[in-house]
Structure 1
Amino acid sequence: MSSPRNRSLSGALIQGSVWAIAIRWGSKFMGLISLGICARILTPADYGLVNMAMVVVGFSQVLVEFGMDSALIRSRDATTGHYDTAWSIKVLQTVLISLIIFSTAPFAAQAYDDSRVMPIMFAVGAAGLVGGMQNIYVVNFRKELDFRRDFLFSFVPRLVSFVVSISAVLALRSYWGLVLGICSAEVARSLLSYRLIAQRPRWSLQHWRELTGFSLWYFLDGLAQYAVNHLDRAYIGKAGGSEQVGIYAVGREVATLPSTELVLPIGRALMPTLASLNNQRDRQIAAIQKAIAGVSLIAVPLAVGFALVATEIVRILFGDKWMDATPIVAIFSLTAMTSGFRYTAQQTLVVLGYVRVNAALSWAYAITVLALIVPAFSWNGVLGVAWLYCAWTFVSTAAFGFYMVRLKVLQGSEVWFALLRVVCSATIMFVAVSAAAKYVDASAIVVLVLKVVLSALVYGVSVYSLWVLAGRPDSSERIILGHAAAAWKKISRFANRLS
């Protein structure tokens, strides 16, 4: 039986995950509405144009990212001087990023052979200069597990961006509506950070050596992650034009919504929780194993389920002119199956101090994928690039799993049996729903609803049945069932009071 302290940490992680998921799903729900509205006014070429500009902007940002937030979260003894130093370094980063963006904008426009890229980069660079000045003390929302205020800090700027984007696109009927939405979020985030926290940082570089001790490897890992996630769009934009990159980018973003909007927020809550156990190895390993199994229990079926409804999602949200994005959505949905395992493993390596290993594995993945993008595009265009990412993501995830075993973080057979139950249940769901869908002839909305309901029922029954056959182990299924039972009791008591 777990101790009260164990339960409190589990509760903190669950509560933090719920708030973080609410942040991501709330903002992405608005993002989907915004995308659905704007996509019916703008064209794939408009979206591709903004994406092409943002690739260069994002690369400029990652070039000077030293992970100050992560350094403060990992440190349990950070003083005011450390926060002042972290803020000062981030200010220097922000100024340098803006200078890079402003100076490279003409070259980016020339490389893409599209002069419209340059003013977009100027606008985003100026807004980023304001956004980068935000109050460093907002990192304490995560460090102190204050996820309610973290929710507010993350959600409000996205709400501002949502309102500005839709209003500007409706008014201007131009891609500049998207640009204004991006810029407004940066400005709102900086202003809100000083509104929420009274404490103010001061200029200081006193602890710069200490804070940047692990930053080189953090930077290299971030650079590899950026290369994998964005340079494909840069190449497609150069080789195929703005319309091709627009279809590809939107398809990829939509496909990864279910998994990333679950996995990334849990990772946001997981890192500070695991960092608090740095001196308790056994409990930390147990927490890591439960996190991997628990995230996969939900991320895998969401990814597979999204592949099942790719056609309906694209047709309902964006209309027929975006149907070329359907196979992109389906392929990247399958790729997202591994996101839960992979992202949790990356967070674990950072928390345990294996930042070099994390960077090395990420670079091995990045170099291989980038080396194969050109032949993949030559083979089958954007679909070839999508299949390349799908195949190599599974290989890379296996490499992370192998290293986690070497570090003895993944011990025993329980975690592997838990993952096997998830994969088997998701496979049963895919086969059953695909077979049943052949007999349904209805509108896209009706088919979507039927597929979602059937997927949830088949997966739920499969997971529960396999868990029972395994002897009802103390696993993620038991935890989820326990919380579901507790929630049902609360709902029943509330209903009884009303009656």
Structure 2
Amino acid sequence: MVWIGFRLGSNAALDESTHTRRGVGKSIAKGALWTLSIRLVSRSISVVSTLILARLLTPSDFGVYALAMSVYAFVELIRAFGFGTALIQNQDATDLHYHTAWTLHFLFSLVSSCLLYLFAPLAADLLKEPELVSVLRFMCLLFLIDGVKNVGIINFQKHMTFDREFRFQLSIKLTGFFVAVPLAFLLRSYWAMLYGLLSTSVMLVLLSYIMQPFRPRFRLDYWHELFSFSAWLQVNNVLNFFNRHIENFMVSRVAGVAAVGSLSMAKETGQLLREMAEPINRAAFPGYARVNKDPARLLNVFCDVMGPLMILGFVMAVGIFSVAHLLVPTLLGAKWIHIVPLVKWLALATLLMIMMSSTNNVLIALGRIRWATSIIVVRLTLMVIFLNLFLPVYGVLGVAYATFATLSLVLVVAYLVLRRNMGLGLRRVVYILYKPGLAALAMFLLVNGLFPAHWVGEPMPWQLAQLFAAVAVGGICFFLVLGFLWVLESRPEGPEMQLVRLVHTRTGLLSFLLPGGSPHG
């Protein structure tokens, strides 16, 4: 998953550096594999759930739910200090740090619940959706339940015991699925999704105490230390909230709740990549934190992570862009056909978004939180400008255009920041991007040449066959072109070699591509 290619030198310092880099890389690779497994299984459950709910509920149902989640996320900013991130970043955190983090989380959850209950009518008036009052007051329970969860579960990530987190997350996800889907058949309402949320919150709290021996207590010994680190994280979280949700509020006022529902479904369909990439970034952060005292080592680990991340990013983002005209009508139904352009452009925007999230993780690991905050401020400012330009002209599709334009410009800023803080050179960036980029371009041209239009009116099995054929052809094309470009480079160490080793280990194939004919090189 994560490749470690580093030439050994003769001196002890270089040997130590190489050993550290390989050790961190292996830890990240193992963690990424487990967290990717978590995400794949969770995503599979979500896809099945979404396909069922999309045929039972209306765009307006999804719109009410999306608006409620946006308001909930806004109130949640009160407790979004990132205490868990602080515990991971502080390799010397004691039990008292954990007790303090749990106490602060509980207190802020209590405040959040009260405020959401009080301001629910105001939010409904501002967003012109009366049904939000009862929905938001119901969601107060989520704050109360989540407020007592065991802070010890942060150790799954900190200590990279992602196998345990796999069981933890899978149990939670299955609980929500088996509650929401049957209720959707009975209620035919967004309340089915809300009851699903409630059930996952209850299960999360129960499992947090069953699977973690740590028992939190009310203590505030280290509140000042936690706040000194988390204050900037709080600012980041506030800015990130507006980056993620401002389009929902603006679309609601400009185009109505049904348009918000369309946008929500497009994000669910088109941002599959983000769900797949998040585990890699999640596993990488504690790895970055381990070498944060040495920017040169951190740069090497960062590039090792970005290699496979960009292969995954390009194949999925451009893949979704290429088959969206088949994917949406086949899986969601004809009533969602209007979201195809949204799905396409949001998929490409998500590729840029995962690059941004990687940048943010590295800067936080380095302790350069102000730099990370500055990038988010630039992103939010540009997003507001582009939304005001594009929404009146293109409607809800303007959200996708605004997101893509914003992230394209912000990535330039992010690169300059990384160059200043870690010495990231442009040549290294181009090297990471050019092979998967060219492979993705070839995939797009082939898929759209062979499958230019959806087989409208054909039976569902034929539509599914067309979709699966397009996905298979695109995937084969991508990896053939990627492999060809890699062979032209004389098969250097990197994510491609690691992929070949993985295939050889599992199937016995591709041994001719391995150096010396050995899977271990």
Q: TM-score, normalised by structure 1?
A: 0.94
* Distance across 2 between alignment mates of 1:182 and 1:440: 35
Give the AA of the match of 1:180: Y
Separation in 1, partners of 2:429, 2:320: 25
C-alpha displacement of 1:190: 1.1
Same amino acid, percent of matched pairs: 26
Whole-angstrom CA distance in 1 between matches of 2:264 and 2:185: 22
Give ranges in structure 1 of 5+ residues lacking alignment.
Answer: 493-499
What is the distance in 2 between the residues matched to 1:389 and 1:431?
24
Counterpart for residue 519 of structure 2: none
Deviation string, structure 1 residues 86-132 (Cα, Å, up to 9, x no partner):
11111112112112211110111112232211111111121221012
Matched, 1:432 2:446: yes
Question: What residue number does 2:48 align with?
Answer: 33
Tell me the alpha carbon deviations over residues 359-397 of structure 1, each in whole angstroms, 9 at most, x when there is no partner: 110111112212332331111100122111112111112
Conserved 8 A contact 1:160-1:188: yes
- What is the rounded CA distance, in whole Å, between the counterparts of 1:464 and 1:377 in structure 2? 41
Could you say which residue in structure 1 is the equivalent of 2:327?
A: 313
- Contact kept in structure 2, 1:165 and 1:180, CA below 8 Å: yes
Q: Which residue of structure 2 aligns with residue 339 of structure 1?
A: 353
Whether contact under 8 Å (2:45, 2:177) holds in the other structure is yes
Residue correspondence of structure 1 range 438-457 to structure 2 within 5 A: 438=452, 443-457=462-476
**Residue type of the alignment partner of 2:47:** L
Contact 1:309 1:448 in 2 (8 A): yes
Residues 300, 336 of structure 1: 8 Å contact kept = no
Give the letter aligned to residue 78 of structure 2: L
Aligned to 2:339: 325
Counterpart position of 1:289: 303
State the match for 1:394 in structure 2: 408
Cα distance 1:408–1:112, how it changes in 2: closer, same or farther (>3 A)?
A: closer
- Residue 415 of structure 1 deviates from its aligned partner by 4.3
Q: Which residue number in structure 2 is paired with residue 86 of structure 1?
A: 101
**Range 419-428 or range 478-487, more displaced:** 478-487
Equivalent of residue 278 in structure 1, options 273, 292, 296: 292
Whether the 8 Å contact between 1:101 and 1:122 is mirrored in structure 2 is yes
Pick closer, same or farther for the CA change 1:491–1:16 going to 2, 3 Å: farther
Query: Given the alignment of the two structures, is residue 461 of structure 1 paired with residue 476 of structure 2, yes or no?
Result: no
**Counterpart selection for 2:268 from 253, 266, 290:** 253
- Which amino acid is 1:256 matched to? Q
Give the conservation status (yes or no) of the 8 Å contact 1:165–1:181.
yes
Q: Secondary structure at the match of 1:40?
A: helix
Q: Is the contact between residue 289 and residue 410 of structure 1 (CA under 8 Å) also seen in structure 2?
A: no
The one-character-per-residue Cα deviations of 1:408-467 (angstroms, maximum 9, x if unpaired) are 342473442121112121112111221222399674212211211111111111111111
3-state SS in 2 of match to 1:76: coil
What do residues 173-221 of structure 1 show as CA deviations (whole Å, max 9, x unaligned)?
Answer: 2111011111111121111101112220111111011111121211111
Aligned residues: 491
User: What RMSD, in angstroms, separates the aligned Cα atoms of the two structures?
Assistant: 2.0
Q: Which runs of 5+ in 2 are unaligned?
A: 1-6, 9-17, 512-521
User: 1:141-180 deviations in whole A, cap 9, x for unaligned?
Assistant: 1111100111122221111111111011112121110111
Which residue of the partner structure matches residue 497 of structure 1? none
SS in 2 for 1:407: helix
Distance 1:426 1:186 in 2: 39
What is the match of residue 478 of structure 1?
Answer: 497
One-letter identity of the residue aligned with 2:220: L
Q: Residues 248 and 260 of structure 2 are in contact (CA less than 8 Å); yes or no, is this contact kept in structure 1?
A: yes
2:125 to 104, 110, 115: 110
Query: 2: CA distance between counterparts of 1:425 and 1:189?
Result: 41
Aligned counterparts of 1:437 and 1:42: Cα–Cα separation in 2? 30
Change in 2 beyond 3 A, CA 1:440/1:78: closer
